Amino acid sequence: MTEWPRYYDSPESDFRKRFALYEQLGVDTIRVETGWLGHPSLVRALKDTSFRLKLILYVLGAPQGYRDRHPDELMLDERGERGRHVGPWCREFAETTLGAGRAQMLKLQAAGLADRVDEVVADLGPAAEAIYPANWTLNRSGEQAYWCYSERAQASFREAMAAKYHDVCSASEVWGVSGEKRFAGWSDVVIPMPQTDWAKGAFWDDMLTWYRDSKRRMIRHRIAQTQALASEFLGPHVKCIVYLPGHAYSQADWDAAVREASGPVSIRLMMDNDWLMQEAIERGCVLQYTGVEYDTEVREIVGKLKEMGSDAYAHMWGENAGIERCGRAPQWLAQVITGCGLRGVDFTWSNWLFEDNGTTPSGTYAEFAHAVRMIRHFYDAGEELAPQPGAHGRAEALAGLI
């Protein structure tokens, strides 16, 4: 169960009521977000339960001190807007993220809850997902952006291209840039706006490869750093969780992006799930898919893991998107979990189970209770238990009919 962050200011009595109900439901683990340790009522109530904890160790939000030292260094998109995260090209990346992680671990120890943590979510991007900043994390609408327009990013791209082509004339020839558009030197090379005519083709392929590999290097670093912090503060048994976000990009998505010097959402956010799965498995991480309501995608992920010769799907958490149409269909989520043989559901958010007062069970509470029975029965008896008649199902979860 992922406790709704807006509940964090609840009175202690409300936490105790909700926690008692979670125990009755059969919930065994609570996932907590950054900032929870600053709420004494939540900490005290948790300490009086037997719940295990799943900790999201957010560290990529750029602290004010970093912003003050490097005001122009945060990621910049083609609209000229800056993100809130320390990105792949930022200076002091390792020091900033390590400091943030250590500070949270020390607070966890001081609260007396370090021994409750079994798994730590590695922060790999916005909402801890391995993506570039998405509109929904920035409270904005419109087309998703590319985030490669800061001077630090542009400099990194030029450096990568100089290493690949050595001289700018060779690069210009490969990119098909001729005449007055031909680059006189590496300092003239810049990533243009999407859909720029001369950038279509080889240039955009190089840009996307660099953009993807920049993210990959950051992910490797973040996984290693998270594992080191978990081992130091929590013990060697604690596992690192890697989120698989959204819908993975396909080769067709990539090819289309190269042709148009643009790209669909999966490319712009760089949903690099196939590589991410392999990397997580090799590093001994646990997977969590953050859109378990999409059964087709879940089945593709499970199929790919089996092709890799891995049983990581059996240890993988399924998390629903934290929006109402998905949160109101817990029995559908349970069907996907049991149908695909996943470990269990990380239900997001807890507020769907309660009325506005935060403690009175809602109609979804009863549906969730049966969803838990479906999952438990599957693993206890080896057979799937049918959802209740009239329960919200796939159509509601996916089409937003609630």
User: How high is the mean pLDDT in each 10-residue block of the chain (402 residues)?
Assistant: 96 98 96 92 97 96 90 92 92 94 96 97 96 92 96 97 97 94 94 97 98 98 98 97 94 98 97 98 98 96 97 98 96 98 97 98 97 96 95 89 42
Q: From 246, 212, 243, select the one nearest 58 (Cα to Cα).
A: 243
In 359-402, the DSSP E strands lie at none
The reply to whether 252 falls in a domain is yes
Q: Estimate to the nearest angstrom the gap between the alpha carbon of 158 and the chain centroid.
A: 29
Rounded to whole angstroms, the Cα distance separating 144 from 265 reads 6
- 157 lies in some domain: no
The pTM of this model reads 0.96
CA atoms of 241 and 220, how far apart (whole Å): 13
Q: Is residue 18 part of a domain?
A: yes
The CATH number given to whatever domain includes residue 287 is 3.20.20.80
Q: Is residue 124 part of a domain?
A: yes
Residue 365 lies in a domain: yes
Within a domain: 390: yes
Quick one: tokens of 167? 């001289």
Q: So what's the pLDDT on residue 71? A: 84
Query: Residue 344 forms beta bridges with which residues?
Result: 317
- What residues make up the domain containing 355? 5-145+216-399
Burial class (CB in 10 A: 0-12, 13-18, 19+), 180: exposed
> In the chain, how many domains are there?
1
SS3 state at 244:
strand
The CB density around residue 171, as the number of other CB atoms within 10 Å, is 22
Report the pLDDT value the prediction gives residue 401, as an integer from 0 to 100. 42
Q: Does a structural domain hold residue 283?
A: yes
Query: Is there a domain that residue 197 lies in?
Result: no
